[in-house]
Every structure is written in structure tokens, then in C-alpha cells.
Amino acid sequence: MHIHILGICGTFMGGLALLARAAGHRVTGCDANVYPPMSTQLAEQGVGLIEGFDTAQLELAPDLFVVGNAMSRGNPLLEEILDRGLPYTSGPQWLADNVLQGRWVLAVAGTHGKTTTTSMLAWMLEYVGLNPGFLVGGVPGNFGVSARLTDSPFFVIEADEYDTAFCDKRSKFVHYRPRTAILNNLEFDHADIFTDLAAIETQFHHLVRTVPKSGRIIANARSEALRRVLERGCWSEREWFDCATGWSLRADDAGGETAFCLAGEQIGRGSLAMPGEHNRMNALAAVAAARHAGIPPKVAIEALGQFKGIRRRMEVRGRVGEVTVYDDFAHHPTAIALTVEGLRHSEPAGRLAAILEPRSNTMKLGVMKDRLPGSLAGADHTFCYAKGLDWDVRAALAPLGQRAEVHDDIAVLVDAVVAWARPGDHLLVMSNGGFAGVHEKLLAALAVRTGHTAARVG
């Protein structure tokens, strides 16, 4: 079958393209904004990419169009598909019908930490030889691809609460029907499609309704929103993490490792390369979920010692002299604060600059603008790229005083960062998009200024 995917370079749709190709289908696709790592990954896998949504693509005559949720009515290619009555479906529906049916699905949901936790869980299953299939909203270092199809009964998936498609406004995750479900946390986000937190809680309630009686839900005990979700009904086994009576962590003096505990009793001890308390909580949830799939906690913790992280999650992109440039996907104020805190803790020496592009739909609407100064307070200096925003970024960041500056031109921003930087500094770039290639621009400009060769890592 020939499948043509609209919006193929999104993290979910790009992963779906890899799964469809692995299943033996011919796969092509189109998108408007093509940037790494997804574009590179698709090209390496032999998936044909077309820039834009010209109706001439209909001449490819695919058997099925798979429509990503970034496609809206008014898109010329989508409108022509509808007018001609051509066969189409959403990405989550195609995945449910062609990949997930009959498998033990382990799904990771939550506002933050989905990609990291999903990657950890997939690696734990891989570590013990279960050869899981997976679809992750990033590229895990242990696998090198964001999606994989195998003959294993286990499939690990990042379960996004964003809507399914133009024709299906349910959250993507209601299609997945997991047997094991992690509910990592829950905050207000996606202001472009949800009116308030209660609306998102309803979607999580719908997810809970799909988990079988023999299934297991592993939920964050700190989240009042998740408690409200489960109080509306829970028909499955339930475990809490981050609480004294369930799964918890405690500091261990043995080599700076972390002790993993269940009901107050230590069940294992290990270390994690990724910094921050939030990543240790992600690991804790993954260990709990792995146990439901039959993996002893000590073995799952052992696997964490060989976990290589994820691209665009505190990824070192390069160094020039003694200045390090990082890349991270953080775009929600909570994630921004946790990322800054994690880097500060892991690299206490040197100054930290936060370089932010408020690019998500929620950020573009300005809904979270009042929380931005607090989320960036841990940085020594903030540089914000404000091109295309309709709200006053300078006014929003005014509480940071002279520790923040806003630029509408990427070249001016790069010059400002390079002028500020000095040996030993950490430049933390945060965006859920390509950020106009600012990482490479920073490394190149630093090399010119210092005379040092840029040592590129990512």
C-alpha cells in the first residue's frame, strides 16, 4: 500500500512514517517546515519528502492519505482530498488499526516528561531482550530512531493529549488502549485547543476508561489534577509514585546514587546521567511500569545506568573553548524551570544563559507569559527571540530587570549572546522548533570571536 502523510515532519507523524515503512508500505509525505532531526531521520530511512501542500501531490495517487493534526481546514491539499472523496484517516487511528491492535501497549501520558519516560521504558524492555516496538516524540540515544516496529507483543508509546486531527478532536491517546499507563503529571497546556485544565482532565478520564481491568495505571501522587481524574473513575490496578506508601526516591550516600523504594523499602539503587529531580521521577515511573511488564525493579534500575538520553533533551550540541551550547525541547514554564534547575545542579560552575524561543501554540497566545519570569529566574541571563509574537515579551520579562533582553532578529540575538559569553559559561537553548538554526549560528560566531575551533557534538 502507498501511504502519503500530511504533516510528516512532526515528531509523531514522522515516527508513524517509519512504522508504516517497516510494515512494508511505500511511504511519502509532505510538510511546510522541514528541519532536523526528523527530516534527517526520514531521509535516512528512504521516505520521500515534499515541501508544502500543493495539490499536484494528488498525482502520486496513494492508496491512503494519513492526515496529521497540524493540518487544518483550508489547507489546499486537504481540501482537495475532501472534495474528491479520497480515502484518508488520522495518524492515531491508523496506528491503532495497523500497529497497536493485539499488543501489550505501555503508554506514557502527562504534560511533562513523556519523551524521556517513554525512552527510558523502551530501553528497559530492550535491555532484558523483549525487543519492544516503540514510538517516541524524540530520538532516544539507545536506539537512534524515534520509532521501531518489531514482532514483539510489547509496544511503548508516548501518549500525547493533543487533539487527533481536524476531524477528530479527541486526544490522540484515546486511540491507544494501553494495558500499562503512566500518568506523569498534569498541568494546563495547549491553550489553542483546551479552554482550561478541567477540559484536559476530561480527556485523561477518557484515557483511564480505556485501560482494562487487568491493566495498571501508575500515577504521580503529587498531582492534584491526576487525583481528580482518577476520582472520576478507575477500573484498573493503580499504583502511585512520589509518595511514602507507593514508589519513592531517596538520596543514597553510596557514591551519590539514588535509592528506589516501594512502600518505604529500598528495592534498588542506581545513577542517572540526565540531571534534575524531574528526570529521577521520570525514571521512577518507568521502573514501576516495567515491573508491570515483568521486569524486576533491580534489573530496570540497572538498565538506567546505560540509558543514553534523548536528542534535544539537555543535549550538548557543541563547545567552543570553554563555552558549552545545549539544546532542549522545553517550552512550557514548568519545563523551562526544571531544565534550568537541572543544568544548574549538574553544572554548578560557570554562568548559565537561557536562550528561549516561545514557539508553542500556547506560548504564541501569551497564556503563560506571566509565569515566564519565574521559570527563568534560575538563569544568570535570559535572551528571548520574540519574532512573530503578538504579545509584549519585553513587558512580560520586565521583572527580570537587566538579566533579560529580547530580540526580534536572530543575527542580533546571536551577537548579543556571544558578546555576553565568557569561558566556563553554559548556553541553554530552549525551543520546540528549529529556532532558525541558532545552535550552529552560536557555535560559528563563538569560533570566530575566540579563534577556537567549534567541537560539535550533536
- List the grid coordinates of 217: 495505571
Residues 291 and 328 in one domain: no
CB within 8 A of 7, min separation 6: which ones? 13, 29, 30, 31, 67, 68, 69, 70, 71
The string of pLDDT tens digits covering residues 145-194 is 889 999 999 999 999 998 999 999 999 999 999 999 999 999 887 777 88
Strand stretches in 359-403, DSSP E: 381-385
Residues 296 and 322 in one domain: no
Domain boundary among 68, 92, 116: 92
CATH of the domain at 335: 3.90.190.20
Answer yes or no: is 310 within a domain: no
Q: What is the pLDDT of residue 301?
A: 95
Q: What is the pLDDT of residue 434?
A: 76
- Residues of the chain with pLDDT below 70 are 34-37, 252-256, 455-458
Residues 87 and 183 in one domain: no
Residues 292 and 349 in one domain: no
Q: What is the pLDDT of residue 7?
A: 95
Residues 243 and 348 in one domain: no
Task: Note down the domain range covering 189.
Answer: 102-304
CATH of the domain at 174: 3.40.1190.10
One-letter amino acid of 39:
S
**Count of the separate structural domains present in the chain:** 3
Residues 195 and 228 in one domain: yes
Domain boundary among 273, 304, 335: 304
The string of pLDDT tens digits covering residues 46-83 is 898 999 999 999 999 999 999 999 999 999 999 999 99
Q: What is the pLDDT of residue 355?
A: 94
Separation CA 286–CA 308 (nearest Å) = 15
Nearest in space to 260 (alpha carbons), one of 294, 223, 235, 290 = 290
Residues 345 and 397 in one domain: yes
Residues 297 and 331 in one domain: no
Q: What is the pLDDT of residue 389?
A: 83
Residues 269 and 342 in one domain: no
